[in-house]
Amino acid sequence: MAGYSILETKIDIPQDEIDHFRQMLTITRFPALPIVPGADEDRSTYGTKLSDFKDAKEHLLSFDWRLTLRDTSGRWNHFLVEIEDAQIHFVHEKSKRADAIPLLVLHGWPFSFWEYKYLIEPLTNPPAGQPAFHVVLPSLPGIFLSSIIPNKQHSTPDVARVFNTLMVDVLGYQTYGAHGGDFGAINLRQVQLNHADTCKLIHFTGFPAPRPVDFTDSDMANLDEVDKRVLGRSIAFQTFGLGYLHMQTTEVVATLGYALYDGVGMMSWVVSKYRSLMLSCKVPEEKHEQVWMDQLVNVLLYQYTHSSHTSMLMYKQSGRKYIFEAFGKQPNKQGCPMGISSFDGEIMLAPQPWIKAAGNLVYYKHHPEGGGHIPALVLPEELVGDLREFFAANWTKASRLASHL
C-alpha cells in the first residue's frame, strides 16, 4: 500500500550461528544432582526437573535445523515492513476464496509464529461450506525478525496500533478478525478496546478478567463446575507460576536478558515453561514428542535472531496495567464482540460471568479433553473448528452492525 514498502524475505540462518549454538550446547554442563533432594518431584516449589534440561539439550543437539528451515521458507510467505520505525516480520498466507476473512493471529511468549504452524493450511484452504481466512501472522515486537518499537515508553496499546496499521494501511484490509492467546491475547485486548472500527471480531483462548466488584460471594458459590475448575487453575498459576513475570516486569529485565542472551541460558529459562504447560494440558502420548520439539524450535528461532533479551521487553513495557488490569470492565468501552475457547488446563482464563462483565461475549466453548495454554500445538483441529464456528456465526452480523455505527 502507499507509503509502506513490503519486502518479501526468506528465513536464512547463517551456518556459523548454527555451529555456535551447537558448540555451546555441547560444552554445557549440568549439576550431577538436583538442587536439593526431592526437587525433581516438586515442580511447584523448585521448578523444572534437572532431567528436563538434559533432555532439551539432547533434543536440540539432534535437531535438523536445515530441514525445518527449508520447510518453513518453502511453505509460508514471509515479509518485512517498517511501521513507526520498527521492522515487523509477518507471515501472510492468502486463501484462494474471494469471501475469505482477513485474520490477524498473534502468538505469545516464549513462542513465535511457529506456534500456529498447524492452523495456516486448514484456515486458508478449508472444506466446502466452511469459512476461509487470509492469515496474517506477525512476530511480536522484539521477537524473531521483528525489532522493538524504538521508544522506551511504548506499551501494549502501541503494539495494538502497529498491528492495526499492518492490517488496514499496509495490507489494505478495511476490516478484519483476530485470534490470540497468552501475550497475543494481551495485545488483542487493546485492539478490541481501541480499534473496534476495523477489528470486528476477536477469538481468545486466554482472557484473565478480574472478579467484578459486584460479583458476590453467593455468585462465587453458584459458579458451575467448569468455571470453578477454570478459576482454580488460574489461581494456582498466579500463586506458583508467575515468578518469571515478576522478574520480567521489573528493572532487572535487562540484566536477565543479557544473562540469558546466549541460547543455553534462554533454553534453561523457557524449558521450565514448556514442561509446565505440557503437564497441564493433557498432551496425548502419541503427540508428546512432537509438541516438545515444536516448543523447543522457539529456542532456536530466538537464538539465531539474537532476540532472547528483547523478547522479554514486552513485560516491562506493559506491566500489570495492561497484562491484567486491562481485562477488567472498561467504562464506555465495550469493544468488538468476542469469542472464547476454553481448553482444559488454560492458565490465564476467568469464569464466564467475569468475562461477560468485561466485554460483549457472543461465543464460548469448553474443551474438557485438554489443550491448555497451547491448543494450537496440542489440539489444532479443535481450535480450527472453533474459529470456523465462531466466525461463521458472527462475522456477517458483526460487519453489518459496524457499517451502521
With cell 488483542, the residue in question is 188
Q: Where are the strands (E) in 258-354, listed by range?
A: 338-344
Residue range(s) defining the domain that contains residue 234: 7-21+67-238+321-403
Tell whether 302 is covered by a domain.
no
Tell whether 34 is covered by a domain.
no
Please write the tens of the pLDDT for every residue from 311-347: 999 999 888 788 888 999 886 777 899 999 999 999 9
Tell whether 170 is covered by a domain.
yes
Alpha-carbon span 276 to 43, nearest angstrom:
8
Tell whether 49 is covered by a domain.
no
Mean pLDDT value across the chain: 91
Number of domains in the chain: 1
Alpha-carbon span 239 to 243, nearest angstrom:
9
Q: Which residues share a beta bridge with 83?
A: 86
Residue 1 pLDDT > 70: no
C-alpha cell at 176: 478484519
Tell whether 122 is covered by a domain.
yes
Q: Which residues share a beta bridge with 78?
A: 9, 91
Confidence of residue 2 (pLDDT cuts 50, 70, 90): low
Tell whether 39 is covered by a domain.
no
Alpha-carbon span 45 to 357, nearest angstrom:
34
Do residues 312 and 250 make contact, with C-beta atoms less than 8 angstroms apart? no
Do residues 123 and 103 make contact, with C-beta atoms less than 8 angstroms apart? yes
Q: Note the pTM of the prediction, 2 decimals.
A: 0.95
Tell whether 292 is covered by a domain.
no
Q: Is the dihedral of CA 282, 288, 293, 299 positive or negative?
A: positive
Tell whether 288 is covered by a domain.
no
Please write the tens of the pLDDT for every residue from 206-258: 999 999 999 999 999 999 999 999 999 999 888 888 888 888 988 888 899 99
**Nearest Cα to 95, choosing from 119, 121, 64, 116?**
121
Residue spans of alpha helices (H) in 149-224: 156-165, 182-194, 217-221
- At 379, which CATH number? 3.40.50.1820
Do residues 316 and 180 make contact, with C-beta atoms less than 8 angstroms apart? no
Q: Which residues are catalytic?
A: 182, 315, 373
